[in-house]
Amino acid sequence: WPEILALRNHEQPRDVINAHAEKIAYVKVYTDSVIRDVDTPADYYQERQRAGLGKKRIE
């Protein structure tokens, strides 16, 4: 990911994606689970519950 690491402050990863638009392959999916954003432990545990794995912490 050298192009993303080389981005300047005003640039975004989307700029890199747009620069390579011809390489994008769109895939139809039938669940929203592929677009859920998991940034925090709380998000992670919420997704575990949603998947039926409960609140149990994995060590």
Task: Specify if 13 maps to a domain.
Answer: yes
- 15 within a domain of the structure (yes/no): yes
What does the block give as tokens for 46?
A: 């919420």
Instruction: Please tell me the predicted confidence (pLDDT) of residue 15.
Output: 94
Dihedral sign, Cα of residue 29, residue 30, residue 36, residue 41: negative
> Does 59 map to a domain?
no
| Residue pLDDT, tens place only, 15-56 | 999 999 999 999 998 888 788 889 999 999 988 888 888 766
Domain count, the chain: 1
SS3 18: helix
Q: Please give the Cα distance from 2 to 35 (Å, whole number).
A: 24
pLDDT band at 6 (very low <50, low <70, confident <90, very high): very high
Judge whether 25 lies within some domain. Answer: yes
pLDDT value of residue 4: 92
Residue 24 lies inside a defined structural domain of this protein? yes
The answer to whether residue 57 is domain-embedded is no
Contact 57, 48 (CB under 8 A): no
Domain hosting 33: range is 2-50
R_g over Cα of the chain: 17
What pLDDT score was predicted for residue 52?
A: 85
pLDDT of res. 55 = 64
Predicted TM-score of the model (pTM): 0.47
Place of tokens 């050298």: 2
